Amino acid sequence: MLHRYSRWDGSQAFGDLDADDVLDEIADDVLGYGDLKSALQRLLQQGMRGPEGTRMPGLKDLLDKLRAQKAQRMQRYDLGSSLEDIAKKLDDVVKTERAGIERGLQGRERERRRQALEQIPPDAAGRLRELQNYEFHDEQAEQKFQDLLASLRAQAMQPFMQGMKNALGNLTPEDLRRMREMIQDLNRMLRERAEGGEPDFAQFKAKWGSQFPGAESLDDVLEQIAQRMAQMQSLMQSLSPEQRAQLDEMMRGLFLQDERLEAAMRQLGMHLSDMIDEMTQRYRFRGDEQVGLEDAMRLMEEMQQLDALERELRGTRALEDLDRVDPAQVEKLAGEEARRDLERLQEIAKRLKDAGYLEGEDDDLKLTARAIRKIADKALRDIFARLKRDRFGGHQIDRRGAGGDQTDESKRYEFGDPFLLDLKETVMRALGRRGPGTPVRLVPDDFAVIRTEQRTQAATVVMLDMSRSMLNNGYFLPAKKVALALSALIRSQFPRDALYIVGFSLYAREFTTQQLPTLSWSEWNMGTNMHAGFMLSRRLLARHAGGNRQILMVTDGEPTAHLEGEVADFSYPPTPRTVQETLREVQRCTRERIIINTFMLERSPWLTSFVEQMARINRGRAFFATPDRLGEYLVVDYVSARRRARGA
């Protein structure tokens, strides 16, 4: 089988959307800002990169495709050619009539007809106006003109004839009369509304509803009409001033035989002028491909739809907004690939819910406990992947245990060891002692057993500094990730251990692992009240009488607040009273055999001095860690502290 590889250029297909990949993509965003809705919104906007390097486009990419479609049309077509097309057709009518006169008439009649034809103005608008009152001699010329006139009238009447598209080129005098009656009914309803009345839309719908499919109110009808009239207005605005004047004059001359219809249309246009102006957009076409008026109007409709879709996508702020975007419309305007991109984005919430990662409805989406465990597992994987790559923290311990979890090493059997026989090593020892040959005879000194490690139960409090400096300096995200990683580590490797999470700033508060992802800044996040944090941690650890008890504190600053009774006293720089009260609480922890290990994210003189005082009292350790390496220090320290070896 042959395979062909090429550089990724953004156009290759993105595989099936995987819920785990999506959750991984938003994990840091949720942890960093504490807002699931905002994280999903940013994912919608930016898209995501798949595990194999492929990229799922976001709304920005869809918007780029829509803008490219608009630019492509404007660079391709020449709107002014629509007027040239009308002028050419009128020229052809005149030439056909002149040839018919020369071919079919003689003498004075021929001369009279020639003079009448010469009186018709040379400009397109003038010819259109005068030919409506001209008495044709040639039947073919007359038919050409009537066809052109019917087509132009159909374009002018298009805003009122959405339900009669098949009849647009075949308007009869009766059709025009009915259109006049309908427009007059609309003008009457608008006058009634302006005077404070309530127009009878039900009666209007029963009479004219087929012309406005989907309209359920007078406002719906007006919006449809204004939208279509804006297409003609956009065409006008996109022409040069001279071309605009010509087209306007031509449109004015289309209904010379029914001035009441023209007057009714203009009156309705005045009523809707504000709506029309709001929807009208000028497009700078600069291509050279010629189009007729009908194609130009169709172009205006497409450009209008592209604008509307662009506004809809720009206004998308949540998954429920995206669900309202029509994939069929996206495919029509931007192609099949854009439709697939949209449908993948619309699938995000469904995939996350199906995988058990999201619960609730649109405005109340929440991460499930399973999703939080998944994010915690990812944080742990990220930390250990780097540990393995960097070979960080390879603490060697010579003493081996006689009970507990098995290792990958063996040792000579000693009295009292669990008899976890390493058969291969035992036989090799016997062969080494007596040489090859059978039978292999074993003596007590040949026996080898699997080494084990003694592991102790532990209770740990992770104290997270939630002061403003932690948030402003970008330290809080890695601290939260470490806390989640520890929870995953304990859940999977040390299920009998206890882990508590305490956040402290002006006051201290316990948080659950489930609360960590969406934990964010609030108004009370001023000050660094280690005193309150140690007090709360000590109360939590008092629940565990045996085993190891420790506090892992992550901070970027010295204590700037302490508790006076139940009220926090804040001061910066720190007062001697704050330092004294905090160190007294350190002494209480020390008396209760609680070890305090501190992970400093800054090396300020104040913080360094304070941590040294704590270490002298508590005998705990202090580390300086950069935010990107904090997890490595914490996890390695936790794992190494958990292991207590015995036996040789």
Residues of the chain with CATH 3.40.50.410: 458-642
617-633 residue pLDDT tens:
988 888 777 766 666 66
Low-confidence winner among 18-22, 312-316, 397-401 (lowest mean pLDDT):
397-401
25-53 residue pLDDT tens:
877 777 766 677 777 888 888 888 766 66
- The confidence score (pLDDT) of residue 455 equals 54
Do 410 and 448 contact (CB within 8 A), yes or no? yes
- The confidence score (pLDDT) of residue 4 equals 47
pLDDT at 416 over 80: no
pLDDT at 584 over 90: yes
Return d(Cα 548, Cα 456) in angstroms, integer. 7
Residues written for the chain: 648
* Residues above pLDDT 90, as percent of the chain: 15
* CA distance readout (Å), 8 to 11, 13, 299: 8, 10, 34
Task: Indicate yes or no: pTM above 0.85.
Answer: no
Mean pLDDT of 549-565: 88
- The confidence score (pLDDT) of residue 94 equals 92
pLDDT at 444 over 80: yes
Tell me which of 521 and 590 has the higher pLDDT. 590
Mean pLDDT of 202-211: 88
In this prediction, residue 401 has a pLDDT band, given cuts at 50, 70 and 90, of very low
Low-confidence winner among 64-78, 212-226, 295-309, 405-419 (lowest mean pLDDT):
405-419
CA neighbours closer than 13 Å in the CB half-sphere of residue 616? 8
Tell me which of 10 and 181 has the higher pLDDT. 181
State the chain's mean pLDDT as an integer.
Answer: 80
Mean pLDDT of 288-294: 89
Mean pLDDT of 498-507: 90
Return d(Cα 560, Cα 562) in angstroms, integer. 7
- The confidence score (pLDDT) of residue 386 equals 56
Please state the three-class secondary structure of 371-431 as a single string: HHHHHHHHHHHHHHHHHHHHCCCCCCCCCCECCCEEEEEEEECCCCCCCCECHHHHHHHHH
Q: Which of 40-44, 79-83, 603-607 has the highest mean pLDDT?
A: 79-83
The CATH label, of 3.30.70.100, 3.40.50.410, 3.40.50.720, 2.60.40.10, for the domain at 458-642 is: 3.40.50.410
Return d(Cα 22, Cα 43) in angstroms, integer. 9
Do 482 and 460 contact (CB within 8 A), yes or no? no
159-184 residue pLDDT tens:
766 544 444 456 677 877 888 888 89
Q: For the chain, how long is the longest CA-to-CA vector?
A: 142
- The confidence score (pLDDT) of residue 519 equals 73
Do 508 and 471 contact (CB within 8 A), yes or no? no
pLDDT at 266 over 80: yes
Mean pLDDT of 259-263: 81
In this prediction, residue 408 has a pLDDT band, given cuts at 50, 70 and 90, of low
Q: Two tokens at 341?
A: 């991109």
In this prediction, residue 387 has a pLDDT band, given cuts at 50, 70 and 90, of low
- The confidence score (pLDDT) of residue 159 equals 73
- Cβ neighbour number for residue 185 with a 10 Å cutoff: 16
C-alpha radius of gyration, the chain, whole number: 41
Return d(Cα 485, Cα 492) in angstroms, integer. 11
- The confidence score (pLDDT) of residue 89 equals 92
* CA distance readout (Å), 115 to 91, 140, 548: 17, 20, 115
310-365 residue pLDDT tens:
888 888 877 778 888 888 988 888 888 888 888 888 888 788 888 888 877 766 77
Of residues 279, 226, 283, 231, the one with CA closest to residue 67? 283
